[in-house]
Amino acid sequence: MKKFLNLVIASIVGSALTISVFMFTGIGKNNEPFIRSINSIPGKNAVYTVNENGEVAPLEFTDVSKNVMDAVVHIKVSKKVSARNYYNPQMQLPFDDDFFKFFFGEPPHQQKQQQQKEDSYMQMGSGSGVIINPDGYIVTNNHVIDDADEIEVSLSDNEVYKAKVIGTDPSTDIALLQIKKTGLKYIPFGNSDNVEVGQWVLAVGNPFDLNSTVTAGIVSAKGRNINIINDKSAIEAFIQTDAAINPGNSGGALVNLNGELIGMNTAIASPTGTYAGYGFAIPTNIVSKVVTDIMKFGMVQRAYLGVTIRDIDGNFATNKKLSTTEGVFVDSLVSKSAAGEAGILAGDVIKSIDGTQTKKSADVLEIIGQHHPGDKVSVKVDRKGKELSYDVVLADNKGGKKVVNKEEEDILDVLGATFETLDKKTASNLGIDGGVRVKDLKNGILKSQTDIKEGFIITGINNKKVSSAEELKKDFEEIHGGVMISGTYENYPGEIYYAFGIK
């Protein structure tokens, strides 16, 4: 009975306390829920880093963003496209079947504007660019402005200017533009060689035509070769980042937390063509070299080791009986090889260049890509387990070891092809006196201004017969202005004409 009484008393006291709490707090009045707001949760600066003074400080991107956003521009281009190149929905677009995609913007059938004439229509595209000095110089990707008839640049204050192409380099996918405006805010170049995997970066650009967009991420990898640049002399050593970049970011800025330009956003890896966590930027040390060459010489001064190279893995090392699995394998030497002249042999493994380790082909391309013909580099190789060093004087693609101005550029390089004299038997079978066959078509006037294909046989230039490669080169060197070439294809009937201009 005593225990029962104690239980009853405890129940009464508990009930009284509960009623008192409800009355005191107001809970239950008008059936209103109890809600308490807390405004002091420390979430704004939840991540910390060490500043330049060695002090722990909150990690935030606002100051960097303010410093760089005004120096990133929106680029819009228009191009008149011939009806014969009109979009066919059954045709595959470039890179459609490739996991890696350039930022060409929307496909042609989505970009198509009202057809202006029966034989042509206007195709529109857009991208980003970075102001690199106060005098209106802007860098962007070559694929953003390639073959554009008109380039329009919008600044952060919405001012719009027409842009002039100062120079391009398809091998690195870099283009230099200029607008008629001075006193501009610009982004200084940082040293991309000092970039480390894991460091914070910001990507700034105009994805999907959304002006002045900033995203944050880290450097995921360096020296990525993703085989995206369609050029036989392509240099790919991309900085990989997980900062969100999308179509329209091409040519935009990748900056470090000091506000320095360390890369130019160029490509993404995505199964859908939009952000999937993998973006790629051209290192600024390559951008700086290309831009400086264009401004100083009017053209890029490309240096070569004169070797064909490939990466090494365990299986390859076993198959070739190599003593190392780290380095870059010299598969063969080209004609007039700078490396061959120095003593490097096919089968050697390049371990380092000027003291920098070369673990993959992209490392070699990036290092050599920052040099000019005539520069000397120290190359360390492994030859059957023995380490050797060679001083290599780099050369251009013809074996020359000095820089040249644009005025001295070989006309065949300007045309963008190699040529060979047609043999007499083939000429006889075609019923012609002779001609010159187009070989190894690459970036140049022929590719950009005509639809000429490899294998075309040139029989005349401006109504003058041509029968040898030497004669063709001489004729082209004497021409300035409009050119009409005539000729034929072996398996196509009739005579064909191509017209273009030489400055």
Residue with tokens 């002039």: 164
Mind giving me the DSSP string for 106-150?
S-HHHH-----BTTEEEEEEEEEEEE-STTSEEEEEHHHHTT-SE
Q: How far apart are CA 235 and CA 368, in angstroms?
A: 9
Strand residue runs (E) in 347-475: 349-353, 356-357, 376-383, 386-393, 418-421, 436-439, 457-461, 464-465
Active-site residue (options: 128, 192, 220, 250):
250
**Sign of the four-CA dihedral 235, 239, 242, 245:** negative
Q: Are 436 and 482 in contact (CB under 8 A)?
A: no
Pairing relation of β-strands 174-178 and 436-439?
unpaired
Mind giving me the DSSP string for 396-412?
-TTS--S---GGGS-HH
Active-site residue 475, yes or no?
A: no
The C-alpha angle with vertex 16 and arms to 13 and 20, in degrees rounded to 5, equals 140
Active-site residue 250, yes or no?
A: yes
Q: Are 394 and 373 in contact (CB under 8 A)?
A: yes
**Helix/strand/coil for 19:** helix
**Among 483, 222, 453, 497, residue whose Cα is nearest residue 360:** 222
Active-site residue (options: 146, 169, 173, 375):
173
Q: Are 166 and 176 in contact (CB under 8 A)?
A: yes
**Helix/strand/coil for 266:** strand
**Among 351, 195, 162, residue whose Cα is nearest residue 286:** 195
The C-alpha angle with vertex 442 and arms to 486 and 353, in degrees rounded to 5, equals 155
Using only the alpha carbons of the chain, give its radius of gyration: 31
Active-site residue (options: 74, 126, 128, 143):
143
Q: Which residues are catalytic?
A: 143, 173, 250
